[in-house]
Amino acid sequence: MECKRAHLAAYNSLLAVLKLEKGAEFEEALRKLEEAKEKCLSTTKPDSQCHNKSQEALKQTAAIYDKILEDYRKRLPTRSAPRL
């Protein structure tokens, strides 16, 4: 049960960000993520099909997050990055 709660929180966080964005690619990622959430959280014992569905949805979401971040960086005023 603890594991499912953790997954639910993670899915809901990803869904919240995608719901803020507009466009076909965001809607598609949102749909896939919701399907994966339903499939995996409703399954008593998650199997490889559930895992594959989740991985596909998460890869697509990560790619979209990268685009959002890149777009955000382009909008920031130009300045040098701090050195670590």
For the cut 70, the answer to whether the pLDDT of residue 75 exceeds it is yes
Let me know how long the chain is: 84
Give the H/E segment covering residue 49.
Answer: helix 48-75
8 close to 42: Cβ distance less than 8 angstroms? no
pLDDT tops 80 at residue 34: yes
pTM of the model: 0.64
Q: What is the pLDDT at residue 72?
A: 84
